[in-house]
């Protein structure tokens, strides 16, 4: 008897280990490692992943239960992924099931999937199902359940079981179109034709036509048109055996437009050198990590493209990761225009079905390149030759929920598995990566000039305090107003960037000063004009704007802050003739609207593009000659040790949008703290000096990259309980970690109350701490066995992106 080890879909201690199940004989040849199955667990039937197959078990035979259903024809996870999950589980202190689930598209992630029945004997199966398929190609699930059959889904059986499979596939979100396959047998067609009575004129006519198209697979609509007949006639002819329905899998197309093919550019010397280094590593199967540090517009993408070309020529596959926010059509089109149909794209803008189809293209090896956001790092290629992380410094590469993995770490793990190089690209590398490059852990490749030798844009800093002194209370400095005006005259384009982090519009009572706050969190509510409501961005709580103050009863309620809508209003007042496009969360809710806005702007349908972080990256339009940053300060004063780094990165990125073609660019940065080094260095795009300066700060405060950090957070509905267990946590860590680690806390978290829970945290700083993972695993065990019952939530985040 064969035994399967199954990781079941239950995130509870002590379930985090494989369970043994016997494999029913009928499934023995079909089940492979990496397949999803349904298994009895307690009194339920739940989803699981087969992670190993063996011949023996320690479970007594009378306790051993069989797998109930096999959910996949082909394994959804490769052996590599199963191995990776084991590594990730330990590195991120997560449940293995969460790691496995993170690797597959959401369409396959359903916790409970009603599956079709199974039957052991193919002949019987066909017999049993015959009645259902006589009149219809769709069979209700109920029927399958009633008959309690098992469907052997195997590649070779496809033809035979097309219609049956169809039922199964719909569950898996596969889209198919129904076509008619005309019999290949000329004699049979002739015979059917001859046997028809002369009164069946239409049918005879159709058969004549079919004889000329024997063996063809055609859409029914086309047959009606060609033979000037109706579905009834076709059905009648099909009943006689002249044709049958077949299903053709189709991929939903997430791309609105075809793209024109582009050719390779002749590389500059700098580009050539960088490419060569990567190609060498590829050819010698070296799992090297390159840090490609190139100023904005230096042609990093062209290097990616040519490296991928080489990778494909070697018969291998490439994975390109791009931050979600910059997965613009412009970016993806650059890959599609070079590699056409060989590219799959994965991002959150796609529907569940589209995402699944793009994933299937990778899974079925129909493509050679995947371009996607963080989770695309799990693309199930089996012969990876190159992995690229563009904008490697982006915090979105770190997943905030369990499993709290960083795509960079996973990429490097996979590069070792496949013996292939990784490229980390950025104009503003994270301090961690740059420090590693300095130590030669990563190989540094530098592009110091823009690809076409365009000068970097001229950057000016405007001190908004001076504007106030001059009596200008608007959000626009004189300089910026002039700048926009002259662009309007010259018919050039302007991009205005509102650094909105921590800058949302809030509502305040002018009499008592009360700010409307979320019921569940210590956060002020954000005002949304489009539906006149207040919303909490952390927990989703919503309420209408109050007409009287809940504290004092006054009706002097006022909106504050500078949301994009407010900026837009002021902008249209200043420049009534200007055509303004706004791009923020509100205007890009609808699918494809992001795309549409950029397209309009690229086509010159607007003079000014106003937006948030969303526009900071990837925009590459030749007619943009002015970039304005309305307030550089907002991200500078966040209570996060990376706030200067983030500000520097953001300002450098936005500035890089100006003057990318022949026309020179200008950047105006408005700020209340012009003297800050992050702003000063961003002005000159001076990465190295910024790095040196920031490293000094990090050194002084024992922060990364000098130390690693881990964050242990405890929350509870009751403040005192939360504090009590946070203390227990800290004590536990102090008695188990060595002196190499310093433990700070417990302290309250940045936002103390979130979703009605009080939060405390301990921060751990360490260089080398062999006890770290074992201690965390042990702490997790205590939590999962004892504390969880008391309503505590404990999370451990190693290398958190935000603290
Ligand atoms: P980055 O990704 O470093 O910001 P891009 O790859 O977007 O830079 O390149 C900036 C611009 O320069 C693009 O319009 C690109 O087509 C162009 N470019 C890049 N490399 C070359 C080259 N070798 N010759 C001519 N143009 C180039
Ligand atoms: Zn009030
Ligand atoms: Zn809230």
CA 655 / ligand 1 centre spacing (Å): 16
Positions of E strands within 640-756: 666-671, 708-716, 741-754
Could you name the CATH architecture of 708-798? 2-Layer Sandwich (3.30)
| pLDDT value, residue 47 | 87
**Ligand 3 ion: nearby residues, β-carbon < 5 Å:** 518, 520-521, 536, 538-539, 541
Is the Cβ–Cβ distance between 325 and 468 less than 8 Å? no
- pLDDT > 90? residue 733: yes
| Alpha-carbon gap, residue 527 to 516, rounded angstroms | 10
pLDDT for the residue 115? 37
Tell me what pLDDT residue 114 has: 35
ipTM over 0.85: yes
pLDDT winner (highest mean) among 23-27, 177-181, 589-593, 769-773: 769-773
pLDDT tens string 486-497: 999 999 999 998
Q: Would the annotation count 33 as a binding residue?
A: no
What mean pLDDT do residues 765-770 have?
A: 93
**Interval between CA 71 and ligand 1 midpoint (Å):** 46
Q: Does domain 269-447 have CATH number 3.40.50.1010?
A: no
CB 538 within 8 A of CB 584: no
Evaluate: CB of 799 within 6 angstroms of ligand 1.
no
Quick one: how far is CA 544 from the chain centroid? 32
Å from CA of 752 to ligand 3 middle: 12
Please check whether residue 289 is in contact with residue 420, taking contact to mean a CB–CB distance below 8 angstroms.
Answer: no
Mean pLDDT of 746-761: 88
Domain boundaries, the chain: 3-75, 112-169, 175-250, 269-447, 458-505+561-698, 511-556, 708-798
* Residue 35 annotated as lining a ligand binding site: no
The number of the ligand nearest the C-alpha atom of 519 reads 3
- List residues bridging with 378 in a β-sheet: none
Cβ-based burial of 413 (10 A; exposed 0-12, middle 13-18, buried ≥19)? buried
List all residues 6 or more positions away from 135 whose beta carbon is below 8 Å from its beta carbon: none
- Identify the CATH number of the domain defined by range 3-75: 3.40.1440.60
Is 163:179 a contact under the CB 8 Å cutoff?
no
Count Cα atoms within 13 angstroms, Cβ side, for 316. Answer: 22
Among 319-328, 686-695, 713-722, the least confident range: 319-328
For ligand 1, pick from 293, 302, 660 the residue to mutate: most ligand atoms within 8 Å of CB.
Answer: 302
pLDDT above 60: residue 122:
no
Domains 458-505+561-698 and 708-798 share a fold: no
Q: Which two tokens stand for residue 157?
A: 């059986």
> How does pLDDT run across 310-336, given as a tens digit for each residue?
999 999 999 999 987 777 777 888 999
Q: What is the pLDDT of residues 260-292, one digit of tens each?
A: 888 889 999 999 999 999 999 999 999 999 999
- Buried (b) or exposed (e) across 585-606, using 16+ Cβ within 10 A? ebbbeeeeebbebbeebbeeeb
CA distances (Å), origin 520, targets 201, 526, 537, 747: 74, 14, 11, 20
Q: What is the pLDDT of residue 404?
A: 96
Contacts 24+ apart (CB under 8 A), 393-399: 393/426, 393/428, 393/429, 393/430, 393/433, 393/645, 393/649, 394/323, 394/325, 395/642, 395/646, 395/801, 395/802, 396/323, 396/324, 396/325, 397/321, 397/323, 398/799, 398/800, 398/801, 399/102, 399/374
The pLDDT value recorded for residue 210 is 93
pLDDT single digits (tens) 202-220:
999 999 999 999 999 988 8
Average pLDDT, rounded, for the chain? 85
Give the count of alpha carbons within 13 A of 462, CB side only.
23
Q: Which residue has the tokens 């079709």?
A: 116
Q: Per CATH, is 458-505+561-698 categorized as 3.40.50.300?
A: yes
- Residues 615-637, mean pLDDT to the nearest whole number: 79
Of 427, 480, 488, 456, the C-alpha closest to 659 is 456
Least confident of 34-48, 383-397, 603-617, 679-693: 603-617
User: Using only C-alpha atoms, what is the Rg of the chain?
Assistant: 31
The answer, yes or no, to whether any atom of ligand 1 lies below 6 A from the CB of 452, is yes
Q: Is 536 annotated as a binding residue?
A: yes
């Amino acid at each position: 008897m064969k035994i399967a080890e199954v990781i079941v879909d239950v995130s509870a201690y002590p379930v985090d280990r494989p369970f043994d199940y016997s494999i029913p004989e009928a499934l023995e040849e079909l089940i492979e490692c990496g397949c999803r199955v349904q298994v009895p667990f307690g009194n339920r039937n739940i989803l699981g992943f087969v992670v190993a197959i063996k011949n023996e078990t320690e479970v007594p035979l009378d306790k051993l239960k069989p797998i109930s259903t096999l959910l996949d024809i082909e394994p959804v996870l490769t052996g590599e992924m199963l191995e990776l999950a084991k590594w990730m589980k330990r590195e991120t202190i997560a449940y293995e099931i969460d790691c496995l689930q993170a690797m597959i598209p959401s369409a396959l992630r359903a916790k409970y999937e009603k599956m079709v029945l199974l039957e052991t004997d193919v002949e019987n199966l066909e017999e049993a199902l015959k009645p259902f398929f006589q009149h219809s190609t769709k069979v209700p699930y109920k029927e399958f359940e009633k008959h309690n059959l098992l469907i052997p889904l195997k590649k070779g059986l496809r033809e035979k079981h097309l219609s049956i499979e169809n039922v199964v596939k719909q569950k898996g979100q596969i889209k198919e179109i129904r076509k008619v396959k005309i019999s290949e047998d000329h004699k049979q067609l002739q015979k059917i034709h001859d046997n028809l009575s002369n009164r069946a004129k239409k049918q005879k006519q159709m058969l004549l036509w079919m004889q000329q198209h024997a063996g063809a697979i055609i859409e029914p609509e086309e047959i009606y048109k060609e033979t000037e007949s109706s579905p009834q006639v076709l059905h009648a002819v099909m009943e006689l055996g002249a044709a049958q329905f077949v299903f053709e899998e189709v991929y939903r197309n997430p791309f609105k437009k075809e793209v024109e093919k582009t050719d390779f550019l002749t590389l500059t010397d700098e580009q050539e050198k960088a490419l060569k280094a990567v190609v060498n590593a590829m050819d010698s199967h070296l799992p090297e990590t390159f840090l490609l540090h190139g100023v904005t517009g230096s042609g990093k993408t062209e290097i990616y493209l040519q490296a991928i070309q080489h990778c494909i020529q070697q018969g291998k596959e490439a994975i390109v990761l791009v931050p979600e926010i910059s997965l613009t059509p412009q970016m993806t089109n650059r890959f599609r225009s070079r590699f056409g149909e060989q590219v799959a794209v994965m991002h959150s803008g796609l529907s569940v079905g589209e995402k699944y189809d793009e994933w299937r293209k990778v899974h079925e090896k129909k493509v050679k390149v995947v371009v996607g956001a963080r989770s695309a790092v799990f693309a199930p290629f089996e012969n990876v030759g190159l992995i690229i992380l563009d904008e490697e410094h982006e915090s979105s590469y770190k997943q905030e929920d369990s499993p709290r993995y960083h795509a960079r770490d996973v990429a490097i793990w996979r590069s070792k598995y496949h013996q292939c190089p990784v490229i980390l690209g950025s104009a503003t590398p994270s301090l961690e990566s740059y420090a590693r490059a300095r130590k030669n852990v990563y190989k540094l490749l530098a592009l110091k000039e823009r690809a076409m030798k365009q000068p970097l844009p001229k950057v000016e800093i405007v001190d908004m305090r001076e504007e106030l002194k001059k009596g200008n209370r608007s959000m626009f400095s004189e300089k910026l107003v002039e700048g926009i005006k002259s662009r309007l005259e010259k018919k050039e384009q302007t991009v205005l960037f509102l650094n909105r982090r921590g800058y949302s519009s809030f509502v305040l009572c002018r009499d008592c000063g009360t700010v409307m706050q979320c019921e569940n969190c210590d956060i002020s509510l954000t005002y949304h004009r489009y539906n006149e409501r207040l919303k909490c961005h952390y927990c989703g709580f919503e309420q209408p704007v109050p007409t009287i103050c809940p504290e004092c009863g006054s009706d002097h309620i006022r909106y504050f802050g500078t949301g994009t809508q407010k900026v837009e209003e002021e902008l249209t007042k200043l420049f009534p003739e200007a055509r303004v496009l706004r791009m923020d969360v509100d205007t890009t809710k609808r699918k494809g609207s992001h795309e549409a806005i950029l397209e309009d702007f690229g086509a010159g349908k607007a003079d000014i593009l106003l937006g948030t972080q969303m526009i900071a990256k990837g925009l590459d339009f030749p007619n943009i000659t002015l970039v304005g940053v309305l307030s550089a300060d907002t991200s500078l004063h966040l209570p996060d040790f990376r706030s200067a780094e983030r500000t520097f990165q953001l300002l450098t990125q936005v500035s890089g949008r100006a003057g990318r073609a022949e026309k020179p660019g200008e950047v105006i940065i408005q700020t209340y703290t012009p003297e800050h080094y992050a702003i000063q260095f961003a002005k000159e795009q001076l990465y190295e000096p910024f790095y040196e300066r920031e490293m000094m700060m990090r050194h002084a405060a024992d922060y990364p990259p000098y130390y690693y950090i881990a964050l242990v957070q405890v929350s509870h509905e009751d403040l005192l309980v939360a504090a009590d267990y946070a203390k227990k946590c800290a004590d536990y860590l102090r008695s188990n970690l060595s002196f190499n680690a310093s433990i700070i806390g417990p302290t309250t978290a940045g936002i103390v109350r979130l979703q009605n829970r009080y939060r405390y945290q301990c921060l751990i700083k360490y260089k080398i701490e062999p006890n770290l993972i074992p201690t965390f695993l042990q702490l997790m065990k205590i939590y999962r066995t004892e504390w969880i019952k008391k309503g505590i939530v404990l999370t451990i985040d190693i290398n958190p992106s935000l603290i």
